[in-house]
Amino acid sequence: MPYTQEELKNLPWYQNLIDEDEQAYLANKDILETQSSISGSSNDGSLLVRDSDNTILIFENPYTGVLPEDPSTKIVHTSIVNKLRDDEASVNSILDRDFEEL
């Protein structure tokens, strides 16, 4: 029968396992943040840690579960929107409105 959560809190080997996982998590975070900061880029959102697929990696504090508000979690994105084409000539250049026989 598996241990309950209360029983696991009293088992030293389980607490050591959790501590090792937390330390490995923090070490991985430090390594990735160091690699991303080596580029020397300014704090324009490029200090975010990304994986090989360009997915943003954000690390929470493993002890509290809270995300820190620091340069590694700052996402900068522009709110400028290009003007949509709204005149008929622009729309006709995109849409083919001619009927053709099959």
> Could you write out the DSSP letters of every residue in 31-43?
HHHHHHHTT---S
Please answer whether residues 76 and 44 qualify as being in contact, where contact means their C-beta atoms are separated by less than 8 angstroms.
Answer: yes
Query: Is 32 inside any structural domain?
Result: yes
Neighbours of 66 (CB within 10 A): 8
Whether the model clears a pTM of 0.75, i.e. scores above it, the answer is no
Query: Is 25 inside any structural domain?
Result: yes
Query: Is 65 inside any structural domain?
Result: yes
Per cent of the chain over pLDDT 70 is 85
DSSP 71: G
**For residue 42, what pLDDT band results from cuts at 50, 70 and 90?**
very low
Query: Is 37 inside any structural domain?
Result: yes
Tokens representing 73?
């979690």
Residue 45's domain comprises 5-75
Mean pLDDT value across residues 72-77: 71
